[in-house]
Amino acid sequence: MSELVPPHGNKDLKPLALEDDALTTELEKAKSLPKITCSSREFGDVIMLGIGGFTPLDGFMTKLDWQSVCGNMTTSNGTFWPIPITLSTDDEDIKEEEVALVNSNTDEIIATMFVTEKYTIDKEYECEMVYKTTEMEHPGVVMVMEQGKYNLGGPIKVLSDGGYPEKYGDLYMTPTETRDYFKDKGWSTIAAFQTRNPMHMSHEYLVNIALETCDGVMIHSTLGELKPGDIPAEVRSEAISTLIDNYFVENTVFQSGYPLDMRYAGPREALLHALFRQNYGCSHLIVGRDHAGIGDYYGPFDAHNIFDEIGGALLTQPLKLDWSFWCYKCADITSMDICPHSNEDRLLLSGSKLRYLLSENLEVPENFSRVEVLTILRKYYASIKKDEKVNVELKGHSAR
């Protein structure tokens, strides 16, 4: 049996979470340390570092690492990394010392950190390099611009699982667990399908294409914070499970979740998605149209092109797939590469369009989504009050 793809930049996974007596001792010590409150994004990064999803990092980046990642997509020691992993604070008194990191929502101590450097950054420079914009309408830009005055760099010891196993049960899997799952299945080629949405028929089509060349597909949903209007993870998971049970060959597709917030960084986030999927044991990442994008900030296939620019920096490779849709003349789900017909013959599918139709209780066109999935989603939208619904901006989508 062929081996799984190795972790990124390291022979083995590098989880930073402590266990047993070491965990108990560190938690007790952490109570007396200066406290740094983590944002939602930083909290997800801590948990990802804890489970080895960010192998080979040993903590939050120093200024030299930050600068190198922004400018060259490598850390200061030459390890490929596309997006800065940083921690910030407004605390003027923090110096080179040991601190405790605290979840802003629960006040739980989630890690300790030895601060090796306290530094300032040019936030606009980071936004320009990573997000290709400084506009505050971009949620990733907001994350950066609302960071504290200082960044703190240094190694961490993770003391929490973030509550993910308790909240999500078997849906939440660590890189160690997914690798064990793949080995038990006898899989060596696995494609990850990134999603923050329930899957419609276009997504189903992309997964089936991946199954033509891979042993299996892992539908990998973000369990972190999303933007307003996105569908909660619990509802999304139920809809995906229904799709897997009814429309994929048994034992070829499964779903799991990971603890990060979306950054909506388009091409650079596509690279990060491939990088940490390598740590999860995936040999491929499905990269479709406008992967991890938002609005019109990125070209539809910028995420395809950026993989060509980095050469062999990642072992996990992209499965570059074109925009898929229902064609009335072909009478099937197809793609730009195959279908010869015009836009007037096509039902263009998107997660944002589906959310809009459901939130407004409008008819969903036939061939857009499976009936079983729509039943689950309509039940969710019926359960939320009209004044809680968020308008979904539609750009560049059409329907018939």
Q: Annotated catalytic sites, by residue?
A: 196-197
Classified as helix, coil or strand, 186 is coil
| Spatial distance between the Cα atoms of 49 and 38, rounded to a whole number of angstroms | 14
Supply φ then ψ for residue 25, to 5 degrees.
-65, -45
Q: How far is CA 230 from CA 175, 250, 289, 363, in A?
A: 25, 29, 19, 19
Q: CB-hemisphere CA count at 13 Å for 139? A: 16
Cα first-last separation, the chain: 47
Other beta carbons within 10 Å of 97: 14
Tokens representing 15?
């989880």
Query: Would you state the structure tokens that stand for residue 287, as one six-digit string?
Result: 């990269």
Residues in the chain: 400
Select from 336, 333, 294, 301 the least CA-distant residue to 320: 301
In the structure, how many helices (H) and strands (E) does the chain have? 13, 15
CA distance 348 to 325: 5
Which of the 8 DSSP states describes residue 285? E
Burial status of residue 377 (CB atoms within 10 A of its CB: 0-12, 13-18, 19 or more)? buried
